Chain A
Amino acid sequence: MLFSGSIIKGSLDKGMDNMDRRLGSDIMLVPKGSREQAENLLLEGQRGTFYFDGSVDDKVKDIEGISEVTSQCFLKSLSADCCSSEVELVFYDPDTDFVVGPWIETNYKSDLKKDNVIVGSDIVTENGTIKLFGKDYEVVSQMAKTGTALDSSVYFSDESMASVIADAEEKNSFLTEEQKDGDILSSVFINLKDGYNEDDVIRECHAKAGDVFDVVYPKQLNESLSDNLLRITDIVGAVVLIGGILLFGILVLINSVIIESRKQEVALLRVLGNSKSKMALMLISETGAVSLFGSLVGCLLGALIVIPFGRYIGMSLSMPYLGPSFIGASVQVIVIMAIVFLVALVSSILFVFHVTGIEPYLALKKEAE
C-alpha cells in the first residue's frame, strides 16, 4: 500500500508537471465542435482528426494583444512500417512553435529539415531512420517519455506536410478530402501580451476568422487539473498515512505476540551462555529480516498493479500519469523497505528489551511469576 500509494502520487505529480510544461499557451483555437477532442489532446496527448482552414493562424496573428501564434496539424490513423499500432503525425512550424517545440528542443537544437523527423519515446527506429509510406526519414531526436499518446507521435516540420500527404496517397492510405487538400490546420495556439483580456482577443479572432472555431483554455484546464491532483494526492497521502499508522500498529501487535512467544527460547539460550545483547541482536535481526522480506514482497505485488496498469489508473482519474523509470521505482522500493525496516525495529524494540531483560529462570518457569 505504501509503495503503490507513493508510486501513484509520484506518477500523477510527474504527469502533471509534464503536462504543465507541455501546455504553454493561453488560448487554443480548434475547429468548431472539436472542443472535447482538443481537451483530450491536452490531457492525454490523443490527436484528433479535426481541421479548419489553413489560413486561420495568419488571420489572427496580427490582432492586438496577441504576442505569439503557432499552429499544428495532426494526421491520425496513418500506419507506419515502423510500428504495429497507429502512429500520429504532427506537423508544426519549428520557427514559431512554443507549445511542443520547446519540449522537443530539449533534445534537438538544430532546425528540422524536410526529411528529418523527431519521434516520441515509444517509436522504434531502425539505424536512426523511420519508414513512412515507403520513404525513409532520418530521426534526429527522440523525445523523453510523457506518458501520453505523444509518445507514439512523429513530428515533422510543416514544410513536409504536402510531400507526406502525397506519399500517403501514392501508397493508397485512407485520407479524407480535407486531408488531401493539404491546406489545413488542427489547432492554433495563442499567447497573449500582458494586460490584455482573453475575451476581447477572442472576440477579435471571431471578427477576423469567422465563427469557425471553439476556444480551449489550456492553462485554466491545467489549473483545474492541478486542483484535482491536489485532492487526489491528498487522498492518496491520507491513505498512505493511515496505512503507515496501521502498519505500525499491526507490527507492534505481531511483534508483541511473536517475541513474547519466544520468551522461553530466549531464556534457554541465555542459560546456555548467550548474553542479553546477543539475544537482543538476534531478535532485532530476525524482525529486520522479516520486515525487509515482507516489504520487498509487498512492493513487488504493488508494482504488479501500479506499473502495468498505471496508464489506466491515470485514465480512470482523468489525469496525466507518468509512471516511474526502473531506477525511480527501484529507489522507491529501497526507500519503502528502509521505512518499513525502521518501523519494524521501533515497534519491536520495547518487546525485545522486555524479553531479554527477564530473569531467565522466571521465563523458563512461567508459573513462578
Chain B
Amino acid sequence: MRNVIELRSIVKTYDMGGVEAVHALQNVSLTIQSNEYLAIMGPSGSGKSTLMNIIGCLDTPTSGMYEFNGINVSEMDDNELAKIRNKEIGFVFQTFNLLARSDALHNVELPLIYAGVSATERRRRAKQTLEHVQLGDRIHHKPNELSGGQRQRVAVARALVTNPSIILADEPTGNLDTKTGKEIMKLIEDLHHQGNTIVLVTHEGYIAEHAHRIIHLLDGKVESDEKVLKRKTYTVPQVS
C-alpha cells in the first residue's frame, strides 16, 4: 500500500492579534494510505476543520511536514496548492457549494476547465461522471432545480471528475435528511469499492462507522486512531 498522505508533527496556530494565540492543531501526525476509508471525528473546536483544510491544501501548517504522494506541500505557494487541489483532491462539502447560476454539467466541468482540458473532452468526462452518479437525465438542471440529494451527487461528480488521489468529504450528509443521507453514504461507499481513497470528516458516530478507520481529535491532538471492526455497510457483501 502506498502512502497518499503523510502528516508529521503538524502544528497550526492562529494568531488572533491578542495576547493568546489559538493552537488549533498541536503536533498531529497521521498517515493515510491509498484506498483507505478514514473518518475524522471530534467535537467542534477539536481542530477537525483545521485538519481537513490542511489535508485539502486549502491552508498550510504553521510548522510540520506534509507530504502528498511523496511531494512536500507544506511549503508550496498558493498557485501550486491550487494545482494540487485541482488535480489530486476532490471536495464534497456539507453545503454542496455548487455554483448557483451554472447547470449541473457546468459545475462538474469546472475543475476540468482549471485543469486546461479541452471543451469536448471536458463535456464528455463531465457527462460520464454525472451518469455515474445517476444524474444522466439532470445534466442541464441548475442547483435550485435539484433536490438536496441530487445536489450532493453533483458535488460528488465534481469531486470525482478529475480522478483525484483522495476524496475529502466534510459532513457530506449534514444538510440532508436521513434517507438521502444514506444514499450519499452508499455512493461514497461505492466510490471506495471502486478504489478511491476517502477521508470523511464528521461528528456523527453512525456516519463515521462506515469507515475502516476512525481518528478522534480533541483539543488539537489525536486522541485515538483505531480500526473499525464491525463496519456498517450499505453495500451487498460480495461473494468471494
Answer yes or no: are A and B bound together in one complex.
no
Q: Chain A interface (Cβ within 8 Å of chain B)?
A: none
| B-to-A contact residues, CB < 8 Å | none
